[in-house]
Amino acid sequence: MIVLGVDPGLTRCGVGVIEAGASRRLSFIHVDVIRSDPAQSQDLRLLAIYNGLVGKVEEFSPDVVSIERVFAQENRNTVLGTAQAAGLAMLAAAQRGIPVALHTPTEAKMAVTGNGQADKVQVERMVARMLGLNTLPKPADAADALAQAICHALRPAGALQGGEREQHLTAAQRQWALAASKASGQGRVHRDM
58 known ligand binder: no
- Beta-bridge partner residues of 34: 13
Residue in 7, 107, 124, 144 annotated catalytic: 7
Amino acid 186: pLDDT: 43
CB-based contact 92:58 (threshold 8 Å): no
Q: Torsions phi, psi of 134, nearest 5?
A: -80, -20
**With left for phi above 0 and alpha for psi between -120 and 50, is residue 187 left, alpha or beta?**
left
Residue in 107, 124, 141, 144 annotated catalytic: 141
Establish whether 7 is a catalytic residue: yes
Range 45-64 average pLDDT: 98
Range 10-20 average pLDDT: 96
Establish whether 192 is a catalytic residue: no
141 known ligand binder: yes
Confidence grade of residue 78 (pLDDT, cut at 50, 70, 90): confident
Establish whether 119 is a catalytic residue: no
Residue in 32, 43, 59, 68 annotated catalytic: 68
Range 95-121 average pLDDT: 93
Question: Into which CATH architecture does domain 2-154 fall?
Answer: 2-Layer Sandwich (3.30)
Confidence grade of residue 58 (pLDDT, cut at 50, 70, 90): very high
In whole angstroms, give the CA distance from residue 26 to residue 154: 9
Q: Torsions phi, psi of 71, nearest 5?
A: -125, 160
pTM of the model: 0.80
Confidence grade of residue 9 (pLDDT, cut at 50, 70, 90): very high
If you compute the radius of gyration of the chain from its CA atoms, what whole number of angstroms results? 16
Q: Where are the domains of the chain?
A: 2-154, 161-193
In whole angstroms, give the CA distance from residue 80 to residue 115: 27
Confidence grade of residue 23 (pLDDT, cut at 50, 70, 90): confident
Range 144-158 average pLDDT: 86
7 known ligand binder: yes
